[in-house]
Amino acid sequence: MPGWQVIAWGVVAALPVSALVTAFALPTEPVHLTDQAVLGMAYIAAVSQFGGFVMWYRGTAAIGVPRASRIQLAQPLLTLVWSVLLMGEEPSPPAPVAALIVLGCIAATQRARS
C-alpha cells in the first residue's frame, strides 16, 4: 500500500478517538467558528498535514528510509536556526550546545556504513 494511503487510513482509524476527545474538550474551551478559522483549519489539515505526509513518504521512497531518517535528525537544529532568524527568538545557552551535539550525531551517522 502506498504511503499516502497508509496515512489516509491512519487518519480515518483515529477519527473515533479524535471525535471523542473533541467532544469532551469543546465545553471547556471557548470556540468561535469564523470563516477565517475554518479555512485555516482546513488548510492545516489538507496542505500542512496530509500534503506534508504525502511528500514525506514520496521523498522517503525516492531516497530510501535510512537517508531520510538521517535528514530528519536535522529538524531540531533547523527549528532552532529558523526560530532565531525568522522570529527573533533568543535560545537558552544550552540550546546551541544541544544543536551541535545533534549535528555531530548526524555527521557520525552519515559516515557510518552498514
> pLDDT (tens digit, 9 = 90+) per residue, 22-81?
899 988 988 888 999 999 989 988 888 878 888 888 888 899 888 888 778 778 888 888
> Is residue 86 pLDDT above 80, yes or no?
yes
The predicted pLDDT at position 14 comes to: 92
Residues 32 and 50 in one domain: yes
Evaluate whether 6 touches 53 at the Cβ level (below 8 Å).
Answer: no
Q: In terms of domains, do 44 and 71 share one? A: no
Confidence band of 6 (pLDDT split at 50, 70, 90): confident
Q: Domain check: are 56 and 85 in the same one?
A: no
Between the two ends of the chain, the Cα-to-Cα distance in Å is 27
Residue 5, burial from CB neighbour count under 10 angstroms (0-12, 13-18, 19+) = exposed
In terms of domains, do 3 and 54 share one? yes
On whether both 80 and 101 belong to a single domain, the answer is yes
* The three three-digit cell numbers of residue 82, written as one number: 529558523
Would you place residue 20 in the very low, low, confident or very high pLDDT band (cuts 50, 70, 90)? very high
Q: Which pLDDT score, from 0 to 100, does residue 114 have?
A: 54
What domain count does the chain have?
A: 2
